[in-house]
A and B are shown apart, each in its own frame.
Chain A
Amino acid sequence: MQRSTAPTERTSSRVLAATAAAGALVLLSACSPTTDTSEGETAAESAFEIVTDTPDPVGDIDGFTWSLLAEPSSLAYTYAYDYSPNTVLSNVCDTLLRWGNDLTIEPGLATSWTNPTPTTWVYQLREDVVFHDGTPMTADDAVASISRHLDPEVGSFWGGLMSSVASVEKTGEYEITITTTAPNALIHEYLAATPGTVESAATLEELGSTYGTPEGGVNCSGPFAVGEWNVGDSIVLERFDDYWDEDLRAYAEEVTFVFQADSASRSSAWQTGEVDGGWQVPSDAIANLNASGAGAVHFGESTAVTSEIVNNLDGPLGSPEVRQALLMAIDREGLVSAAEYGYAEVVDVLAPNSVWGEASEDALSVAFDDINHYEYDPKTAADMAETAGVVGESIVIATSNVSSATSTMSQAVADAAETIGLEVELRTIAPAEYAQIFSSPENREGIDLFFTFWYLSAGDPMSMYIALQTGMFPNYGGWSNDEFDGLVTEALATSDPTDRSMISAQAQVIVNEELPWLPLYQTPNSVWLAEGITGVSPAMNYLYYPWAATIGAAG
């Protein structure tokens, strides 16, 4: 699981437009918000479609330029825990497994795997992989790479998620075995994300603390190698001609990433053609971008859900009935229109549809049909709050001006809380300070609710719900439910994802009933492609999949 510490760009990003690409696109779902926006935009204008692909390229291109939300602080995979570094690194470093365009697991550097005991995972590695310096990949490289997440002195940002790994051992020339301290099927899932990165062990040893910095660079096996890192300006990737996967040989000889923190600057550069593409298109720019004729915005599957986290379960929000009342008092359809210009969907769960790709029909039925749907009903909500005896009590809602959406969202939640009779203090916090709310209980003391843009790094609902198990670090409010804890433990011990999905569904029902976090809406993943380039899937797997290799010349 992952969260955004820089929600500014994340919010405004996954919003996007309606341009259904050609008939080759596979339509997965269509969403047509029905509420007018605050600007008077009509529902039809706000419609968007989620697709799995854009049209195939017709040939190679010299290169393209791509917007990054920020300059990566490091290209070391151990510190790649946010959008910008992973957007680059997914094209440079391969992982043991791959996160496919449908957000399910595919073979990567590992061709096959077994799970001989609940705590043991064995991976067979490819034998034809070479790093960018021409040296061959072996099991030693995989062991050295994954073991770095366990080294306290490295301080890997993925260390918490990988903490249940007891050992990573070479058990053959091209075979490694990962042993966990307790059954944890998610470890396997995370190997399709950054934790599964394999870097040259010799490079790690040689570069030491300069590994991943502008001075040291990286030496992986992806379809692109890092050519230049012009600090503060750009990162240039060059096609790696000895890439092992012929299906993902890059169409482009070169990719130039430029750093554009300002969303207006990104939109302008896309319209003028100075930059060819970028992920996470600001919602307020979609209409102008699509009208410009300079390209098109495409929408794909996302794992992110915007929520309000209940931090204080000893206050008025301690009762599930009050939390339900608060959610029912929020006009979420209106919020989607006002904050995201209609480019989002109201959801009642924290693990959205996109991460249930391997679920059984029965599990899907439980997870999405056997749950409460919290329709906007302020009258009933006010009655529920009165029955619970919380009218007149006070809560503090933390907000931060990290995007145009956040202030709208926080105000809507504050209005809803007042609607059910609570006294509300809306506490505005500087963005840097807001990021620290997530780091320790002291930093969020006195706060009852705070927002998050939470996205999942694995296509499995349990990657969300493990965060809410008793005692887990991201269980910020300290919510606890014995039945739920038992289900999570059982799910982690179930290696088959389809079998696991029914357990996850039961966990989802509990969370939907108890609402330790209040789910608000889900925004689609979005990408801008200039006229002349095509081929990429707009799905959120771009964070861990070599997406840039798929972009070539449009017909």
Chain B
Amino acid sequence: MRATTSTTGPASPAHGSGRRVEAAFAALHGADNALLVPGVVAATTATLLALTNPGGHIIASDQTGDPLRSVLTRELAGLGRTVTFVDCTDADAVVAAVEPATQVVYVPSLSDPLMKPAPLNEIAIHAQMNDLLLAVDNTGLSPAELRPLETGAVVVIEDTAPYLDGWSEVGAALVTGLDRYLPRIAEQCARLGGEVDAWAAHLLERSLSTLHLRLTAQRDGAERVAGALRAHPAVRQVHRPSFEESPWALETHRGFGGLLSFEVVPEISDLSGVLAVCGEEGDGTPLATAARLPARTTHAHLSERVRQEAGISRRLVRLSVGVDDTDVLIRRLRRALDAALQQNEGGQ
């Protein structure tokens, strides 16, 4: 793990491509410095440890999935921090969770998998009024859609997947923010160890230059896919943010990226065909889009009761729309959903 050239800390020396990635990412967010860290869990853990003291309290999103959620509830507890999970898309819920020892509000800019945008402007005001630091996980939107530092966040964390790395080949994360906090985060990263290798940094550097172009395509593709899914009889609900539902976002957001999720009707029990649409099945060409079931992956560790309370059902499918031919993607999804419906009718 490395520090930027201008931050202090006992990190190993940054290689050229790593430095350039950090500089490019910082520029995308309007910051001066950034840190390239091997993994979003390590980046988030280091950030939260750096911004809090033993005995400190953190407010985090109740949509936080594994493995980060386990780190927050177990490892951080072992280091003297306590975490309260709340619905961070509701600023009042965040304020209600503030305790005397609260130091950090950790909010994903887009809740995953229910895809609700967090009102960062409002949360930032409450955070400032309560002397709290606002750290934002902007993985779901990327700087092409939202620059959280401009809304009042002090630190931004982003996984390189699905947006920063166009080919999903690099497992890394980037952290940027106000200069006064980055040296502490760099020091904490150095304690956790690890380093992003030069080749991975090189791949990332190439991808970052096309971020805005790719995001435009992914955003448009996600909108079309969401529209097609809403019209399909096998789909009960589509979770896709919009400016109609969140008009306040017009001030801060350019769009909502390429993520969406949808819940199929209760009659469908087998979703394997839907999950396979992005693979080589169907037309024989793999797609850049990724599909997964949160209840069996990121939120599998939660009890059914907690998942239900969070609105994450077993029939919820999360889609990360890539730079694909959207017509092909929609055609495959329709075919898979039709087949799932027919399978159910045949079974009856």
Note whether A and B form a binding pair: no
* B positions within 8 Å CB-CB of A: none
Which residues of A are at the interface with B, using a C-beta cutoff of 8 A?
Answer: none
